[in-house]
Amino acid sequence: MHIYVRSGVWRLYNKKEWRFIIDEKNRGRLLSLETTTTFEELQAIVAEDYGIEQSTVDVELSYLPTDLSLDCPPVVMMNNRQVSNFLSYCKRKNTIKLCVTFNGGDKDTGSKEKFDLNKEPDAASNGDDDVNVDDGDDDVNVDDGDDDVNVDNILSSWGVKETRKNADSFKTPKNAIVGHGLGSLIARVITRYT
């Protein structure tokens, strides 16, 4: 039987929906498997097809049954019985996709770059890269106003000149709702200058 496998990581969005984020460099593969394929054989086949040395990484195999809602976590396979269940399920539901996550240090992916899918992207940027911020419905916190932020330093690093006097730092108003990271900083800057 043929099984489509894709490389990436599972992420829970808005605490209610599991999504598999595809690794754009590794993408997908089409595997030809027997119904007698074991867990160890499946891990070895996947690692080989992705050109990854299996001894240097942990190959996590998972899938999300189409019968389940998106708030159900993915099924992780860890033994022969679970692989057998997966292959039986694939016979009945031929649209199921096998998901693989490579865990552990840097991987040789056959490309020029080495990366770790489990690491968050670097916050630092040289200004040449496009930055996309999805600050949608992620967790939000109400700032208690205790954190002082030196916005002038941040704004000057962005090339923005200070236009107000006596603006060493500011406190977010108690009623301002802000998120985390860059979205939080932008909200604070907007609060300050509006």
Stretch 110-128: mean pLDDT: 49
- Res. 175: pLDDT tops 70: no
The domain limits of the chain are 2-103, 141-193
Q: Which three-class secondary structure state does DSSP give residue 86?
A: helix
Mean local confidence (pLDDT), 170-193 = 49
156: left (phi over 0), alpha (psi -120 to 50) or beta: alpha
More confident residue, 150 or 63: 63
Q: Which CATH number fits domain 2-103: 1.50.10.10, 3.40.50.10210, 3.40.50.620, 3.10.20.90?
A: 3.10.20.90
Contacts of residue 72, defined as CB under 8 A and 6 or more positions apart, other chains included, come to: 18, 64, 65
Please give the average per-residue pLDDT across 138-165, as a whole number: 51
Residue 151 contacts residue 170 (beta carbons within 8 Å): yes
pLDDT for residue 24 is more than 50? yes
**pLDDT tens digit sequence for 38-63:** 999 999 999 999 999 999 999 999 99
pLDDT over 60 at 134, yes or no? no
> Mean pLDDT, to the nearest integer, of 149-174?
51
